[in-house]
């Protein structure tokens, strides 16, 4: 995927009383990032959070020519209260995503506490908003409640291909300037592995050895290794280029993070070695690439829905459990960069182990199709092949994929999917159930501009959806502010199966218009 488009730098910052040193470090990182020359325009989002949220600073959005104002906004953060350890982290994340960051942008969450608001509904809302714009969420922690990282942080990082890093101090945070700066140039995922689950690749003597290809489309490659033990400081982590040379100059080592950023890397197979004979025990690593001509891919799934002659195939994000799903994959690469006859597709676990190979077909060497029954556990897709110049490449899907027994889709909105001022718009979602009959309850109905009309509590009741049936759910919205004309409103609906506990979410974007003006 080319990265000539705009990108957003998003900081979600805990501004409670214990965060003084961390906020100073965040300010230094922001200053270093804006002072780095780049061709790609960057806009900036700052979303503070606190406990209660009324104590948090204002959400700030700045254009690319307002970078100094962004730094000033960080400097102006005033730490307040905080009280008990958990804070309203998810409120800060949702507020940031509500600023509509650009596609494929990084988000950094800075805190020394766990989340107070990690409800099932809030996690689902963050997931759908992050997935919509392919936002990668990283959690940079200078502390944790009870010394343990909250599982919701790990869940979101895994889903968005981000990482959770527990730092020893704010001083360590300042060393991550290059990590933040490099992520703004656009990244694709080459490799990911974890020793925590899945098949181990350990050799004799407690040494894990991983190989990954760097192809001729890559301008910069980054390797980040996170361990679960403090004071690892990069010991036992070795990166070798295709010639066997150990990389040392580009290595940044922190207590539980080791990071490499190599510009103009030699093409060929690189080797990452992680020794467990010292303090390094469980670990995970990502290998990502940066280029103006990145090779990447997108995908979606399809199954027939409807009854008899009205059956039609519809696209959705997650495959249906125990059903034969059609997957459509689109190759994103410059013309003539990839040899289409070399392409292979694999299902891999979220820890990186290969589950099985998939055989796909294509009529145009850009769009590929395959029918398959999904695994029962979360997985990712790995695309392998060679470039026209003969370099092997690998790419991973950005988000983890989980089979589902139902899905929710946005089907229709009156007024041609717009919100005319002072007029009623009817919005139709549809929940399709492929599991046993059960009732689905609407747990979240909201929109960014607060135009969705809320139903009274007495008029709301769960909807029964039979097996292999789809049932419509309706919302009503009315735009009322002239200032919102020519802006896009995002409507979110989240439903939950009362028996299975499955949580489904979908969003719909509606453009606000003034029908009285040309």
State residue 177 phi and psi, 5-degree precision: -55, -45
Residue 198 has pLDDT above 50, yes or no: no
Among 196-210, 368-382, 407-421, 427-441, the least confident range: 196-210
The contacts of residue 390 (CB under 8 Å, 6+ apart) are none
2, part of any domain? no
Residue 112 has pLDDT above 50, yes or no: yes
Instruction: Confirm if 330 and 338 have CB atoms less than 8 A apart.
Output: no
Q: Which residues pair with 441 in a beta bridge?
A: 496
pLDDT of residue 306: 77
Instruction: Confirm if 62 and 206 have CB atoms less than 8 A apart.
Output: no
Q: What's the rounded Cα separation, in Å, for the pair 374 and 367?
A: 20
pLDDT of residue 182: 61
Q: Which residues pair with 222 in a beta bridge?
A: 261, 288
Query: Helices in 133-276 by DSSP H: which ranges?
Result: 151-160, 170-174, 177-183
164, 184, 204: which is the final residue of a domain? Answer: 184
pLDDT of residue 17: 85
Q: What's the rounded Cα separation, in Å, for the pair 14 and 117?
A: 14
* Statement to judge: residues 39 and 76 lie in one domain: yes
Task: Please calculate the CA angle 477-508-511 and round it to the nearest 5 degrees.
Answer: 65
Residue 273 has pLDDT above 70, yes or no: yes
Q: Give percent above pLDDT 70 in the chain.
A: 92
Q: What's the rounded Cα separation, in Å, for the pair 470 and 307?
A: 9
* Statement to judge: residues 179 and 270 lie in one domain: no
Average pLDDT over residues 447-456: 87
Among 31-45, 389-403, 473-487, the least confident range: 31-45
State residue 416 phi and psi, 5-degree precision: 55, 45
240, 262, 290: which is the final residue of a domain? Answer: 290
Q: What's the rounded Cα separation, in Å, for the pair 365 and 207?
A: 40
Q: Give the number of residues written for the chain.
A: 518
pLDDT of residue 185: 56
* Statement to judge: residues 30 and 178 lie in one domain: yes
* Statement to judge: residues 308 and 283 lie in one domain: no
What's the structural domain count of the chain? 4
Average pLDDT over residues 141-148: 84
SS3 content of the chain, % helix, strand, coil (to 5): 20, 40, 40
- Compare 307 and 167 and report the one with higher pLDDT: 167
* Statement to judge: residues 371 and 263 lie in one domain: no
State residue 201 phi and psi, 5-degree precision: -115, 40
Average pLDDT over residues 376-390: 96
Residue with token string 């519809």: 314
270, 290, 310: which is the final residue of a domain? Answer: 290
Candidates 258, 291, 257, 274; CA nearest to 395 is 291
Q: Model confidence over 320-360: pLDDT tens digits?
A: 999 999 999 999 998 889 999 999 999 999 888 999 999 99
CA atoms within a 13 Å half-sphere pointing along the CA-CB vector of 109: 35
Q: Tell me the CA end-to-end span of the chain in Å, nearest whole number.
A: 37
Residue 295 has pLDDT above 60, yes or no: yes
Average pLDDT over residues 479-504: 96
Sign of CA dihedral 487, 124, 297, 33: positive
* Statement to judge: residues 47 and 159 lie in one domain: yes
At residue 278 the predicted structure's pLDDT band, cuts being 50, 70 and 90, is low
* Statement to judge: residues 74 and 167 lie in one domain: yes
* Statement to judge: residues 179 and 229 lie in one domain: no
Mean pLDDT, all residues of the chain:
89
Q: Which residues pair with 146 in a beta bridge?
A: none
Average pLDDT over residues 195-210: 66
Q: 53 lies in which domain range?
A: 7-184
At residue 203 the predicted structure's pLDDT band, cuts being 50, 70 and 90, is low
Q: What's the rounded Cα separation, in Å, for the pair 70 and 375?
A: 45
pTM for the model stands at 0.88
Candidates 391, 350, 392, 346; CA nearest to 192 is 350
**Largest Cα–Cα distance in the chain?**
75
CATH code assigned at 77 = 3.40.50.410
* Statement to judge: residues 21 and 158 lie in one domain: yes
pLDDT of residue 457: 56
Instruction: Confirm if 165 and 157 have CB atoms less than 8 A apart.
Output: no
pLDDT of residue 2: 29
Question: Between 120-132 and 151-160, two packed helices, what is the crossing angle to 10 degrees?
Answer: 20
Burial class (CB in 10 A: 0-12, 13-18, 19+), 182: buried
Q: What's the rounded Cα separation, in Å, for the pair 293 and 219?
A: 9
At residue 202 the predicted structure's pLDDT band, cuts being 50, 70 and 90, is low
Instruction: Confirm if 401 and 379 have CB atoms less than 8 A apart.
Output: yes
At residue 428 the predicted structure's pLDDT band, cuts being 50, 70 and 90, is very high
Candidates 230, 226, 342; CA nearest to 284 is 226
Burial class (CB in 10 A: 0-12, 13-18, 19+), 254: buried
399, part of any domain? no
Residue 4 has pLDDT above 70, yes or no: no
pLDDT of residue 282: 85
Q: What's the rounded Cα separation, in Å, for the pair 140 and 95?
A: 18
Residue 514 has pLDDT above 70, yes or no: yes
Instruction: Confirm if 173 and 138 have CB atoms less than 8 A apart.
Output: no
Residue 199 has pLDDT above 50, yes or no: no
């Amino acid at each position: 995927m080319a990265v000539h488009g705009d990108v957003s730098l998003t900081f979600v910052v805990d501004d409670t009383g214990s965060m003084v040193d961390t906020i100073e470090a965040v300010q230094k990182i922001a200053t270093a990032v804006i002072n780095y020359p780049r061709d790609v325009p960057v806009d900036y989002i700052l979303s503070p959070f606190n406990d209660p949220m009324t104590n948090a600073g204002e959400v700030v959005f700045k254009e690319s020519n307002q970078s100094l104002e962004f730094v000033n906004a960080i400097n102006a953060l005033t730490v307040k209260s905080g009280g008990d350890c958990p804070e309203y982290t998810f409120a800060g994340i949702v507020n940031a995503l509500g600023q509509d960051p650009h596609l494929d942008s990084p988000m950094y969450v800075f805190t020394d506490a766990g989340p107070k608001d990690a409800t099932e509904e809030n996690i689902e809302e963050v997931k759908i908003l992050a997935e919509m714009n392919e936002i990668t969420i990283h959690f940079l922690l200078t502390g944790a409640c009870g010394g343990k990282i909250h599982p919701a942080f790990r869940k979101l990082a895994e889903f968005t291909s981000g990482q959770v890093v527990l730092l020893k101090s704010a001083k360590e945070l300042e060393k991550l300037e290059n990590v933040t700066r490099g992520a703004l140039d656009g990244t694709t995922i080459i490799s990911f592995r974890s020793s925590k689950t899945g098949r181990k690749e350990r050799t004799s003597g407690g040494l894990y050895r991983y190989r990954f290809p760097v192809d001729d489309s890559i301008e910069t490659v980054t390797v980040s290794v996170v361990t679960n033990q403090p004071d690892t400081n990069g010991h036992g982590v070795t990166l070798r280029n295709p010639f066997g040379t150990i990389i040392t100059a580009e290595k940044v080592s922190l207590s539980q993070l080791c990071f490499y950023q190599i510009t103009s890397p030699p093409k060929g197979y690189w080797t990452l070695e992680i020794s467990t004979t010292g303090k390094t025990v469980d670990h995970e690593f990502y290998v990502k690439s940066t280029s103006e001509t990145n090779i990447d891919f997108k995908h979606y799934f399809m199954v027939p829905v409807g009854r008899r002659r009205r059956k039609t195939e519809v696209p959705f994000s997650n495959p249906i459990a125990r059903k034969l799903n059609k997957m459509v994959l689109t190759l994103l690469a410059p013309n003539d960069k990839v040899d289409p006859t070399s392409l292979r597709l694999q299902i891999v676990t979220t820890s990186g182990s290969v589950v099985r190979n998939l055989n796909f077909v294509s009529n145009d060497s850009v769009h590929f199709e395959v029918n398959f029954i999904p695994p029962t556990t979360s997985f990712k897709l790995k695309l392998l092949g060679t470039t026209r110049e003969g370099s092997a490449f690998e790419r991973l899907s950005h988000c983890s994929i989980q089979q589902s027994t139902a899905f929710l889709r946005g089907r229709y909105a009156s007024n041609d999917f717009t919100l005319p001022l002072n007029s009623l718009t009817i919005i139709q979602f549809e929940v399709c159930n492929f599991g046993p009959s059960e009732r689905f309850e609407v747990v979240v109905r909201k929109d960014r501009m607060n135009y969705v009309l809320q139903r009274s509590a007495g008029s709301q009741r769960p909807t029964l959806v039979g097996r292999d049936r789809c049932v419509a759910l309706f919302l009503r919205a009315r735009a009322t502010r002239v200032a919102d004309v020519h802006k896009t409103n995002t409507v979110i609906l989240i439903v939950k199966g009362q028996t299975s506990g499955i949580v489904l979410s979908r969003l719909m974007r509606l453009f606000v218009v003034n029908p009285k003006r040309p």
